[in-house]
Amino acid sequence: MTQPTLAFIGAGNMSQAIFGGLIQQGYDAARIWGSTRTPEKLEQLKARYGIQTSTDNTELVRQADVVILGVKPQGMQALLKELSETLQQRRPLIISVAAGITVEALDRWSGGGLPIIRSMPNTPSLVGTGACGLFANAVVTAEQREIASSLFAAVGILSWVDREALIDAVIAVSGSGPAYYFMMMEAMIAAGEKLGLSRESATELTLQTALGAARMAQESDVDAGELKRRVMSPGGTTEQAIRTFEQGGLPQLVESAMGRCHARAAEMAAELTK
């Protein structure tokens, strides 16, 4: 199958993670277009990834089989107002990555009746280990679903949800999730340094431990709780650390942090999609 031409409108962090990951997996960079507001940024993207670039979003839509909307949620309505006429003429598959912007709003702002997929990817897509949730409107064909699946499968795993509301749960788990782990890494590195390790060594040990734990949990036939218990020797060192996390309320803290993340997605939808 020929690779579809992709237009990333708003080639920022998330878009770059997706097309950077696709290019690493062998996607033809000549079939990838990116736009940002600033020409200097586009020059950098061209030099780094070899993609086609333009500051003219309508030019991108005219080339595209798939249009990926990668702007901030606050900029989506204005962008679609600018593009609706061209989108209606060209009728590409539209994939939004924006948090808090509903399919109903995307449909309304783009003039109605277009195939729209609301996705929630994450930045580890850049290194082929992304995790993405997807929801399609009724206009999206089986073939277009396949196209979206193969794009996201090239940069990680994906999961279709059958209710749009579940995209907000995906945001709380995997869309925002990399930041939770990065925060844990920051804290472990800082604590390792305080215990006398060099920054370099604390960083290397922390990152390898995060990678090892994730790989082990993925490959194991027992759950994360059991893997945790297997590290905890009775009367030993890990037990003291885990007890300290529990006494500090870590599981409840994670639940309320993810609850706030989830609630914010709904608040954004109420604020931005009137």
Ligand X SMILES: NC(=O)C1=CN([C@@H]2O[C@H](COP(=O)(O)OP(=O)(O)OC[C@H]3O[C@@H](n4cnc5c(N)ncnc54)[C@H](O)[C@@H]3O)[C@@H](O)[C@H]2O)C=CC1
Ligand Y SMILES: O=C(O)[C@@H]1CCC=N1
The answer to whether 95 contacts ligand Y (rule: CB under 6 A) is no
CB nearer ligand Y, residue 121 or residue 192? 121
The answer to whether 99 contacts ligand Y (rule: CB under 6 A) is yes
Distance from C-alpha of 55 to C-alpha of 10, rounded to nearest angstrom: 10
Q: Within 10 A of 143 (CB to CB), how many other CB atoms are there?
A: 8
CB nearer ligand Y, residue 99 or residue 114? 99
User: To 5 degrees, how large is the angle CA 85–CA 37–CA 58?
Assistant: 20
How many residues can be counted in the chain? 274
- The contact mask relative to ligand X for 167-206 (x = CB under 6 A, - = no) is --------x-------------------------------
- The contact mask relative to ligand X for 118-147 (x = CB under 6 A, - = no) is --xxxx------------------------
164 by Cβ neighbours in 10 Å (0-12 / 13-18 / 19+) ranks as middle
CB 175 within 8 A of CB 121: yes
Residue 12 binding target from ligand X, ligand Y, none, CB below 5 to 8 Å by type: ligand X
Minimal distance in Å, beta carbon 168 to ligand X? 12
The answer to whether 93 contacts ligand X (rule: CB under 6 A) is no
Cα end-to-end span (Å), the chain: 40
Which residues does the annotation place in the binding site for NADPH?
57
Binding site for ligand Y (CB under 6 A): 99, 171, 175-176
